[in-house]
Amino acid sequence: MFPGQGSQAVGMLSELAAQHVEIEATFAEVSAAVSHDLWALAQQGPEDRLNRTEHTQPALLAAGIAVWRVWRKLGGALPELMAGHSLGEYTALVAADALDLDEAAALVAER
């Protein structure tokens, strides 16, 4: 189950990023698709800017897929189904290979 908007926080995934290059790499992919440095915003804020929908949604998409990629790299099980709450539905579609990450980033940026 991938989370929806409201689960973001300044500093999210910083500890995991120190151990897994997939975190920042995924944020870089989504950042390129939306023309905004989401990793810097997620790490440094300010919180009110991160909480704006146009930044929150692509940042949470990046966060969810980044964690998913780490999960799979570490040998985590492939679930039989994917689910997401609200915005998390887009993350679930990407994780299920039903939607490309770039396409999902463009969609959530317009949402």
> Across all residues in the chain, what is the average pLDDT?
97
Domains of the chain: 14-110 (3.40.366.10)
Q: Which has the closest alpha carbon to 68: 9, 25, 7, 111? A: 25
pLDDT in tens, 33-58: 999 999 999 999 999 999 999 999 99
Tell me how far CA of residue 107 lies from CA of 13, 33, 41, in angstroms.
23, 10, 20
Q: pTM of the full predicted structure?
A: 0.96
pLDDT in tens, 17-35: 999 999 999 999 999 999 9
